[in-house]
Amino acid sequence: MNSFDYVRPATISDAVAAASEPGSAYLAAGTNLLDLMKGGITRPSRLVDVTHLPGLDGIETLPDGGLRIGALVRNADLAHDPDFARRFPAIAEALLSGASAQLRNAATVGGNLLQRTRCEYFYDVASACNKRDPGTGCDALGGENRLHAVLGWSESCIATHPSDFSVPLVALDAVVEIEGRTGRREVSLESFHLLPGDAPDQESVLAPGELIVAVRLPGEAARFAAHARYLKVRERTSYAFAVVSAAAALRIEDGTIMEARLALGGVALKPWRAREAEAVLAGARPEDASFRRAAEAALAGAEPSGDNAFKIELARRIVTRALTLAAAGTPERVPALPASPFASLKGALLHA
Ligand code: SF4
């Protein structure tokens, strides 16, 4: 590992100033960053430790009934917050399906959004990787790529984004609050992560030194609480990233879907909002035929980027099943196997 400076600022503005220096990186839990540094994948010359910054570890109810979640709130603390889990059950389910208990105890809300792809060529410094070393090429193209992207990819990069948490957040119109040298701004999470295009090293809209300070959920996101699920297919039951996942949330009245929210994970370099599928579902009956039409719409633009055509059909089926589970009703408790496709439809208890 390269030697680096370590600073621990006392205020957000000091942190932003310190991290605006070239070569700097923010350190929170470090659950991804420290592995990247040990592997020589990233070599910051300065770590700016934000773990002691004041005011970033709270969960606050907003006047519209929404929630403001500080960037340093731990994933496990958020998932186990009873009020949060009751109002945003699909997000709690996504959080509990991610990583391991130990990692969830450490990992932060802000860090979760900024975790890097798990493309194995990105982690292998002997491989060509445009994301790690721009202009060197992409060894995943033509390589081992069965888990790579089927939506939004480019010839420069076919990686996927690994976050579970981000998927229902995007479906529910979450907003990211960002502090920079010129003050505070906010962007929708849907537009926060960038598709690879010609510059896969540019992963988000963050400018140098900008810090995520909070994630906000609008009050209207809680209106989906009675019919909201996150479903994730992974290669083992826990401690694995999604091959494909889906967050589905429905607002059902008198046997009709009044409004639908749908996003996919594991299919692109960002959490993928499926707005065409949402339009298909609006006004439809909550039944299998509607869900299949929505799944077709969600994957209409999908193309294999290698040996991963199977992911397109898998994603259709995961979307259909996530919508079926959501329509059946949010369970009173998160299942013992959160987000598992093996969860039974039977026994789902309705909130409303
Ligand atoms: Fe790098 Fe992206 Fe290619 Fe993976 S898919 S090797 S992250 S450029």
pLDDT (tens digit per residue) in 248-294 = 999 999 999 999 999 999 999 999 999 999 999 999 999 999 999 99
Inform me whether the pLDDT recorded for 346 exceeds 60: no
**Which H helix or E strand runs over 211?**
strand 211-217
3-state helix, strand, coil in the chain (%, to 5): 30, 20, 50
pLDDT band at 352 (very low <50, low <70, confident <90, very high): very low
Q: Hey, which of 29-38, 327-336, 338-347 has the most confident mean pLDDT?
A: 29-38
As for ligand 1, residues whose beta carbon falls within 6 Å of it are 117, 119, 121-122, 129-131, 138-140, 157-159, 200
Q: What are the distances in angstroms from CA 96 to CA 3, 26, 163, 313?
A: 35, 25, 12, 25
The pTM score is 0.96
- How many angstroms does the Cα of residue 118 sit away from the middle of ligand 1? 9
Atom of ligand 1 at shortest range from CA of 130: 8
Domain ranges for the chain, please list them: 224-337
Ligand 1 atom index nearest CA of 121:
6
Distance 158 CA to ligand 1 centre (A): 6
Say which DSSP state 224 is in: G
pLDDT at 41: 97
Rounded to whole angstroms, the Cα distance separating 42 from 23 reads: 10
Average pLDDT over all residues of the chain = 95
Ligand 1 center from residue 33 Cα (angstroms): 18
**Is CATH 3.30.390.50 what the domain over 224-337 is classified as, yes or no?**
yes
- Residue of 32, 36, 121 with the most ligand 1 atoms within 8 Å of its CB, for mutation: 121
| Per-residue pLDDT band at 178 (split at 50, 70, 90) | very high
Mean pLDDT for 188-217 is: 98
SS3 of 324, please? helix
- Which residues does 254 contact at the CB level (< 8 Å), separation at least 6? none
CA-CA-CA-CA dihedral for 141, 270, 249, 317, to nearest 10: 0
Q: Hey, whose CA ends up nearest to atom 2 of ligand 1?
A: 157
Q: Please state the separation of Cα 217 from the chain's center in Å.
A: 14
Instruction: For 124-136, write each residue's pLDDT tens digit.
Output: 999 999 999 999 9
For residues 319 and 276, is the Cβ–Cβ distance under 8 A? no
Residue 150 alpha carbon to ligand 1 centre in Å: 14
Nearest ligand 1 atom to alpha carbon 156: 8
Compute, in angstroms, the gap from residue 126 CA to the centroid of ligand 1: 13
- Band (pLDDT 50/70/90 cuts) for residue 342 is confident
Is a pLDDT exceeding 50 seen at residue 348?
Answer: no
**Ligand 1 atom 7: the closest Cα is on which residue?**
122
Give residue 339's region: left, alpha or beta (phi > 0; psi -120 to 50).
left
The β-bridge partners of 214 are: 70, 177
Q: Within 13 Å and on the Cβ side, how many CA atoms surround 285? A: 4
